[in-house]
Amino acid sequence: MRVLVIEDEQRLAENVARILKENASSAVDLAFDGEEGLFLAESSPYDLLVLDLMLPKLNGLELLKRFRKNGSKTPVLVVTAKDEKESIVALLNAGADDYITKPFDLGEFVARSKALIRRGMGEHSTAIRIADLELNSITRQVHRGGLQITLTPMEYRVLEYLAHKRSAVVSKTELLEHLYDYNWEKFGNVIEVYISGLRRKIDGAAATKLIHTFRGQGYTLRDESVPASKGRK
């Protein structure tokens, strides 16, 4: 998943980014003022925005209003030092999905972030199941047929994204946009390498293959014994 953190306190922003990378398998971009934050939010596809309210150049509430006015449905978690009832009401009315008040517990912050990402993907459970494959978004453990499968961090991120989009064909470009921040070094076949590793570990000698390639289009995670229109449960 890819997250944009818009926060002018650089140390806090960097700590938040580190926590999201370590505990939520996320690629994270940083913006330190409202104008840069709005530009990035509208320029790239994100799975979550973490938005501070007290920002230079453009405050968080105005940024949120403009972002939602353009029709974006990306979940937004607001970080605020304010806890007055009027401020919270204004945030929710402007399109915030959740808020957390400084100083906050990092465990709670990660839990709220993961919940919003799941909700944005149409998931409400921490477990995703496709046939006999199960992913747990809290522990980041993967099992197939009851057996645990060990994945690298990036393999897990690729699999999790495909699982959220199960039965849909996901292009290589979409995967790159959601799995890497804007500083990533572009290697042409990196997605193919991860897919190959996942196919070996997930499908292996299994009779039912779950990872499928559509030449020229992308990849899908799907139980082909279930019609595509009924693939999501």
Question: What are the tens digits of pLDDT across the range 26-60?
Answer: 889 999 999 999 999 998 889 999 999 889 999 99
Lowest mean pLDDT among 5-14, 142-151, 209-218, 219-228: 219-228
Mean residue pLDDT of the chain comes to 86
Q: How many domains does the chain have?
A: 2
pTM of this prediction?
Answer: 0.76
Domain end point (choices 72, 90, 120): 120
pLDDT score recorded for residue 85: 60
85 in the same domain as 34? yes
Tell me: pLDDT of 233 over 50. Answer: no
Which of 94, 120, 146 finishes a domain? 120
pLDDT digits (tens, 9 = 90+) for 118-170: 888 777 778 889 999 999 888 889 999 889 999 998 899 899 999 988 888 99
Dihedrals φ, ψ of 4, to 5°?
-110, 120
Are residues 6 and 114 located together in one domain of the fold? yes
Residues 107 and 131 grouped into a single domain: no
Distance (Å, whole) CA 55 – CA 233: 40
Q: Classify 221 in phi/psi space as left (phi over 0), alpha (psi -120 to 50) or beta.
A: beta
Q: Looking at the structure, do residues 104 and 142 belong to the same domain, yes or no?
A: no
For residues 161-184, give the mean pLDDT.
83
Please indicate, yes or no, whether residues 73 and 43 belong to a single structural domain of this protein: yes
Which range, 23-27, 142-146, 227-231, has the best average confidence (pLDDT)?
142-146
Distance (Å, rounded) from C-alpha 16 to C-alpha 52? Answer: 12
Same domain, 159 and 105: no
Higher-scoring residue by pLDDT: 218, 89: 218
> What pLDDT is recorded for position 232?
36
Same domain, 103 and 207: no
Which of these three, 69, 98, 120, is where a domain ends? 120
Query: The domain that contains 198 carries what CATH number?
Result: 1.10.10.10
Q: What is the DSSP letter of 132?
A: T
Under the banding of pLDDT at 50, 70 and 90, the label for residue 188 is low
Domain that holds residue 163: 127-230
Residue 133 is encoded by which pair of tokens?
């494959």
**For residue 179, what pLDDT band results from cuts at 50, 70 and 90?**
confident
Q: Is the model's pLDDT at 66 over the cut of 70?
A: yes
CA distances from 198 to 125, 162, 223 (A): 23, 11, 15
- Give the DSSP letter string of 142-196: EEETTEEE---HHHHHHHHHHHHTTTS-B-HHHHHHHHS-TT----TTHHHHHHH
Inter-residue contact 220 to 166 (CB < 8 Å):
yes
- Do 78 and 158 sit in the same domain of this protein? no
Name every residue whose Cβ is closer than 8 Å to that of residue 208 and which is 6 or more positions away in sequence.
Answer: 131, 132, 223, 224, 225
Same domain, 11 and 64: yes
**Rounded average pLDDT over 199-226:** 87
103 with 140, same domain: the answer is no
CATH number assigned to the domain comprising residue 90: 3.40.50.2300
**36 and 113 belong to one structural domain:** yes
Q: Rounded to whole angstroms, how far apart are CA atoms 66 and 159? A: 33
Kindly indicate the confidence band of residue 191, based on its pLDDT and cuts at 50, 70 and 90: confident
Same domain, 81 and 136: no
Query: Taking residues 67-85, what's their average pLDDT?
Result: 83
